[in-house]
C-alpha cells in the first residue's frame, strides 16, 4: 500500500558551493525543498564553511571537500549532525556514486571530469554545467552517458536554449545552431586596451553573475570557444554548423536554424535558475520566481559578428575541432593553466590565447582518445608545456 505522498527525488550536487551550485539549491528551495527533494551528497573545495551550512540546511547524507587539507575542518563543522564527511578525489567519486537519480555537475574545470563520469556510468541523469567534461573527453563522455542509460541535460544557458528549441523529430532538418555571446566587458575595447586588463576588470561580466574563472573566460571568449566544442558533442553538429553571434543584451540565449529558413530561439532574462530548473524538472516546466522579460522596456536587440582578431579563442576552438584527436583536451588543459597564471598576475590577458595556441601546435599530432587514461595523460602534458611557457613569459616580463 502506498502512502499517497509523492516520492522525493534524490539528488547530488557536485560543486554545490559555487555559483551554479548555490543557484541549484535556490531552485530546489523554490520547488519544495526538503519536502520534495532528498540530497544524497554535496561537494565543494575550499569553502567548507558554506558546504557545512548547505549540508545542514538540506539534510544531505554526505558532504565532501575536494581539498584533503580541509577534511578536519569539515568534520568539525558537521560534528554531531550525523552527516558523513569525506575528502579528496576518492571522496568526490564516492559522492558521484551515491544512488541519486539526478546529479548536477557544477565543479569548475577538468577537476569535475572523473566524478561526473562516475555518475554518468552508473546511469544518473546528468545536469551538465561543467562543460569541460565535453571539451576534454567529448566522445568518451557521451558514450559513457549512453552506456549508463541516463539523460544528459545541458545547463549552460546557450545549450539549454538549443535543447529547448531543437525539435528531435526535425533533427534531419537542422542546418545550424547559433550560439549567442554577450561580448563580455571588452566588447568595445581596442587590442591595445585589452593588453593591460587585470583579473579584477575581466571578471566584471555585464549581464551574468558567475564564478571567477567562467567570468574571465567570458571576457576572453574562451568560454564561447568551449561552448562551440560542447555544442558539437551535445547536438552532433559539424564545426561548420556552429555559429557564434555577439548579442550584448543576453536575452536570446541561442538559436537553431532549420532547412526552411526558420530560426527558433529561446529568450529570457539572464538568470541561470531558468536553465537549472528546466534540467531539474525535464520534461515538465517548473514554476520559478525569476524576473520576466519586459519587451517594452527592452525595446531593441542588437547583434554583431565576433572579432576574431581581438578574440582568437573562437578561431582556436574551430582549429581544435578541425584537427580532431584530443586537440580540444589540449586546448582546455593549456587554457586552464594560462587562466590561472592570468588570475595570479603572471600572464597578460591576450597572452592566454597565445600560450594556448603554442601548446596546441606543439601537440598537433595527438590521436583520438583511446580511453580516459589517454585524456588525463594529454591534459597533463598540455598543462606541463603551458606551465613551462608561462614561467618563461613571466621571467621575460
Ligand atoms: N556560473 C555560471 O553562470 C555558469 C554558466 C554556465 C556554465 N557554467 C559552468 O559550470 C561550472 C561551474 O561554474 P561556477 O561559475 O559555478 O564556478 P564556481 O563558482 O567557481 O564554483 C565551482 C565549484 O567547484 C568547486 N571546485 C573548485 N575547484 C575544485 C576542485 N579542484 N575539485 C573539486 N571541486 C572544485 C568549488 O568549490 P569551493 O567554492 O568550495 O572552492 C565550487 O563548488 C563551470 O564548468 C562553468 O564553466 C557556469
Domain CATH for 119: 3.40.50.720
For residue 20, how far is its CA from the centre of ligand 1 (angstroms)?
A: 7
**β pairing state of 174-181 and 252-258:** antiparallel
Question: What pLDDT is stored for residue 209 in this prediction?
Answer: 84
In tens, the pLDDT along 114-143 reads: 999 999 999 999 999 999 999 999 999 999
Residue 66 Cβ contacting ligand 1 at under 6 Å: yes
Sign of CA dihedral 292, 295, 298, 302: positive
Question: Grid coordinates standing for 336?
Answer: 586552464
306 inside domain: no
- Average pLDDT estimate for 353-365: 97
- Residue 257: strand pairing partners: 176, 263
252-258/263-267 β-pairing: antiparallel
Q: Which of 124, 154, 184 is the last residue of a domain?
A: 154
The reported pLDDT for the residue numbered 4 is: 65
- Max Cα-Cα span within the chain: 74
| 377 CA → ligand 1 middle, Å | 23
What are 46's three cell numbers? Answer: 575550499
User: Angle at CA 129, nearest 5°, toward 123 and 134?
Assistant: 70
Residue of the CA atom closest to atom 30 of ligand 1: 111
Separation of alpha carbons 126 and 119, rounded Å: 7
pLDDT in tens, 144-178: 999 999 999 999 999 999 999 998 899 999 999 99
Q: pTM of the prediction?
A: 0.96
The answer to the question of residue 235 being in a domain is no
Instruction: Tell me the average pLDDT across 318-326.
Output: 97
Q: How far is the CA of 108 from the centre of ligand 1 (A)?
A: 4
Residue 66 lies in a domain: yes
Q: Is 210 in the pocket of ligand 1 (CB under 6 A)?
A: yes
- With respect to residue 346, please indicate whether it lies within any of the assigned structural domains: yes
In terms of Cα–Cα distance, which of 325, 314, 322 is closest to 356? 314
In a domain, 148, yes or no: yes
**Averaged over 299-328, what is the pLDDT?**
97
Identify the domain containing residue 389 by its residue range. Answer: 324-397
Q: Are the C-beta atoms of residues 97 and 119 closer than 8 Å to each other?
A: yes
Whether 92 is in a domain gets the answer yes
Count of domains observed in the chain: 2
Q: At what angle do helices 157-165 and 222-235 cross, to 10 degrees?
A: 30
pLDDT band, residue 212 (cuts 50/70/90):
very high
Each residue's pLDDT tens digit, 248-307: 999 999 999 999 999 999 999 999 999 999 999 999 999 999 999 999 999 899 999 999
Of 131, 154, 177, the residue at which a domain comes to its end is 154
pLDDT at 78 over 90: yes
Asked if residue 250 is part of any domain, the answer here is: no
pLDDT recorded at residue 156: 97
Query: The domain that contains 337 carries what CATH number?
Result: 1.10.1740.10
CA distance linking residue 236 with residue 241, whole number of Å? 10
Sheet strands (E) in 247-385 = 252-258, 263-267
Does ligand 1 have an atom closer than 6 angstroms to the CB of 214? yes
184: pLDDT strictly greater than 90: yes
pLDDT score of 7? 86
The mean pLDDT of the chain is: 96
Last residue of a domain, one of 138, 154, 170: 154
pLDDT at residue 1 above 50? no
User: Probe ligand 1: pick from 214, 216, 290, max atoms within 8 Å of CB?
Assistant: 214
Looking at the domain assignment, is residue 174 inside a domain?
A: no
Residue 396: band (very low, low, confident or very high) from pLDDT cuts 50, 70, 90: confident
pLDDT at 49 over 70: yes
pLDDT of residue 208 exceeding 90: no
For residues 23-50, give the mean pLDDT.
Answer: 98
Q: How confident is the model at residue 91 (pLDDT cuts 50, 70, 90)?
A: very high
Ligand 1 atom 44, closest CA: 108
Amino acid at each position: 500500500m502506498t502512502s499517497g505522498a509523492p516520492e522525493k527525488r534524490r539528488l547530488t550536487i557536485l560543486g554545490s558551493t559555487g555559483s551554479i551550485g548555490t543557484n541549484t539549491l535556490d531552485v530546489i528551495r523554490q520547488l519544495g525543498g526538503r519536502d520534495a527533494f532528498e540530497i544524497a551528497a554535496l561537494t565543494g573545495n575550499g569553502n567548507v564553511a558554506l558546504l557545512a551550512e548547505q549540508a545542514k540546511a538540506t539534510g544531505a547524507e554526505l558532504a565532501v571537500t575536494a581539498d584533503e587539507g580541509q577534511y578536519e575542518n569539515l568534520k568539525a563543522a558537521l560534528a554531531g549532525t550525523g552527516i558523513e564527511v569525506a575528502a579528496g578525489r576518492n571522496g568526490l567519486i564516492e559522492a558521484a556514486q551515491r544512488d541519486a537519480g539526478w546529479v548536477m555537475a557544477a565543479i569548475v574545470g577538468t577537476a569535475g571530469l572523473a566524478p561526473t563520469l562516475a555518475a554518468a556510468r552508473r546511469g544518473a541523469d546528468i545536469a551538465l554545467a561543467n562543460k569541460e567534461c565535453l571539451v576534454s573527453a567529448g566522445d568518451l563522455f557521451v558514450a559513457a552517458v549512453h552506456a549508463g542509460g541516463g539523460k544528459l541535460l545541458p545547463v549552460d544557458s546557450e545549450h539549454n536554449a538549443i535543447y529547448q528549441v531543437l525539435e528531435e523529430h526535425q533533427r534531419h532538418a537542422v542546418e545550424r545552431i547559433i550560439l549567442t555571446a554577450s561580448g563580455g566587458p571588452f566588447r568595445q575595447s581596442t587590442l591595445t586596451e585589452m593588453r593591460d586588463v587585470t583579473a579584477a576588470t575581466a571578471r566584471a561580466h555585464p549581464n551574468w553573475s558567475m564564478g571567477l574563472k567562467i567570468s574571465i573566460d567570458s571576457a576572453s571568449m574562451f568560454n564561447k570557444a568551449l561552448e562551440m566544442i560542447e555544442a558539437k558533442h551535445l547536438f552532433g553538429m559539424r564545426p561548420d554548423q556552429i555559429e557564434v553571434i555577439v548579442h550584448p543584451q543576453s536575452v536570446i540565449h541561442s538559436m537553431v536554424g532549420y532547412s526552411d529558413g526558420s530560426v527558433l530561439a529561446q529568450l529570457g532574462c539572464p538568470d541561470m535558475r531558468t536553465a537549472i530548473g528546466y534540467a531539474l524538472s525535464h520534461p515538465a516546466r517548473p514554476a520559478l520566481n525569476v524576473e520576466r522579460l519586459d519587451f517594452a522596456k527592452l525595446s531593441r536587440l542588437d547583434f554583431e559578428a565576433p572579432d576574431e582578431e581581438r578574440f582568437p579563442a573562437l578561431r582556436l576552438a574551430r582549429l581544435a575541432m578541425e584537427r580532431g584527436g584530443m586537440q580540444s583536451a589540449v586546448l582546455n588543459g593549456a587554457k586552464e593553466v594560462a587562466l590561472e597564471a592570468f588570475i595570479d598576475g603572471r600572464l597578460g590577458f591576450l597572452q592566454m590565447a597565445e600560450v594556448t595556441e603554442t601548446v596546441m601546435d606543439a601537440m598537433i599530432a595527438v590521436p583520438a582518445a583511446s580511453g580516459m587514461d589517454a585524456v588525463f595523460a594529454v591534459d597533463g602534458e598540455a598543462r606541463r608545456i603551458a606551465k613551462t611557457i608561462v614561467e618563461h613569459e613571466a621571467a621575460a616580463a
